[in-house]
Structure 1
Amino acid sequence: MSEQRSEQGSDWSSSTSGNGEYADVNGVRLYYELHGEGRPLVLLHGGLGSGEMFGPVLPVFAAGHQVILPDLQAHGRTADVDRPLTLEAMADDIAALITHLGHDEADVVGYSLGGGVAFHLALRHPDKVRRLVTCSAHVRTDAIYAEMRAQQGQVTGAAAEMMKGTPMYELYQRVAPRPEDFPRLLDKIGALMAVPFDLTDEVRGLQVPTLVMCGDADMAPPSHYVEVFGLLDGGLRDGGWTGEGRPKGGHALAVIPGATHYDVFLSPLFAASAVDFLDRD
Structure 2
Amino acid sequence: MGRLNGDYVRTVTSTEWTAEASGTGGYADVNGINLYYERHGAGRPLILLHGGLGSGEMFGPVLTQLAAAHEVITVDLQGHGRTADIDRPITLDDMAADIAALIDHLGLDRPDVVGYSLGGGVAMHVAANHPAHVGKLVLASVYLTPDAVYPELRAMQGQVNAAAAEYMVDTPMYQLYQKVAPRPEDFPRLLDKIGAWMMQSFDYTDKLRGLAVPTMIVGADADQVPPSVFAEMFTLLDGGQRDGGWTNEGRPAGGHALAVLPGLTHYSIFASPLFGTAVLSFLAS
Residue type of the alignment partner of 2:102: L
Q: Secondary structure at the match of 2:163?
A: helix
Partners of 2:229 and 2:45 in 1: CA distance: 30
Q: Which residue of 2 aligns with 1:205?
A: 210
Residue 6 to residue 225, structure 1, CA distance change in 2 (3 Å): same
2:223 equivalent to 1:218: yes
Partners of 2:270 and 2:14 in 1: CA distance: 12
2:13 equivalent to 1:8: yes
Q: Which residue of 2 aligns with 1:156?
A: 161
The CA RMSD measured in Å over matched residues stands at 1.3
TM-score for the superposition, normalised by structure 1? 0.96
Q: Which runs of 5+ in 2 are unaligned?
A: 1-7
Q: Which residue of 2 aligns with 1:63?
A: 68
Identity %: 65
Equivalent position to 1:182, from 182, 187, 203: 187
Equivalent position to 2:239, from 215, 218, 234: 234
Partners of 1:211 and 1:202 in 2: CA distance: 14
Partners of 1:54 and 1:141 in 2: CA distance: 25
What is the deviation of 1:4?
A: 6.9
Q: Which residue of 1 aligns with 2:132?
A: 127
Equivalent position to 1:39, from 40, 44, 47: 44
Residue 11 to residue 183, structure 1, CA distance change in 2 (3 Å): same
Residue type of the alignment partner of 1:205: G
Deviations 1:222-268, CA, capped at 9 Å, x for gaps: 00000000000001111011110101110000001000000111111
What is the deviation of 1:118?
A: 0.4
What is the deviation of 1:60?
A: 1.2
Q: Which residue of 1 aligns with 2:251?
A: 246
Q: Which residue of 2 aligns with 1:102?
A: 107
What is the deviation of 1:172?
A: 0.6
Deviations 1:189-235, CA, capped at 9 Å, x for gaps: 01111111111122111101000000000001100000000000001
Residue type of the alignment partner of 2:202: F
Residue type of the alignment partner of 2:56: G
2:159 equivalent to 1:165: no
Residue type of the alignment partner of 2:267: Y
Asked if the contact 1:22/1:30 (under 8 Å) is kept, the reply is yes
Residue type of the alignment partner of 2:120: G
Asked if the contact 1:229/1:253 (under 8 Å) is kept, the reply is yes
Residue type of the alignment partner of 2:279: A
Asked if the contact 1:34/1:66 (under 8 Å) is kept, the reply is yes
Residue type of the alignment partner of 1:226: A
Q: Secondary structure at the match of 1:160?
A: helix
What is the deviation of 1:30?
A: 0.4
Partners of 1:91 and 1:16 in 2: CA distance: 26
Residue 278 to residue 66, structure 1, CA distance change in 2 (3 Å): same
What is the deviation of 1:149?
A: 1.0
Residue type of the alignment partner of 1:245: G
Asked if the contact 2:219/2:227 (under 8 Å) is kept, the reply is yes
Q: Runs (4+) of structure 1 moved beyond 3 Å?
A: 3-9
User: What pairs up with 1:61-100 in 2 under 5 angstroms?
Assistant: 61-100=66-105
Asked if the contact 1:76/1:176 (under 8 Å) is kept, the reply is yes
Residue type of the alignment partner of 1:36: G
Residue type of the alignment partner of 1:164: V
Q: Which residue of 2 aligns with 1:145?
A: 150
Q: Secondary structure at the match of 2:98?
A: helix
Partners of 1:266 and 1:99 in 2: CA distance: 28
Q: Secondary structure at the match of 1:105?
A: coil
Q: Which runs of 5+ in 1 are unaligned?
A: none
Q: How many residues align?
A: 278
Deviations 1:13-67, CA, capped at 9 Å, x for gaps: 3324165100001000000000011111000000000000112111111112111
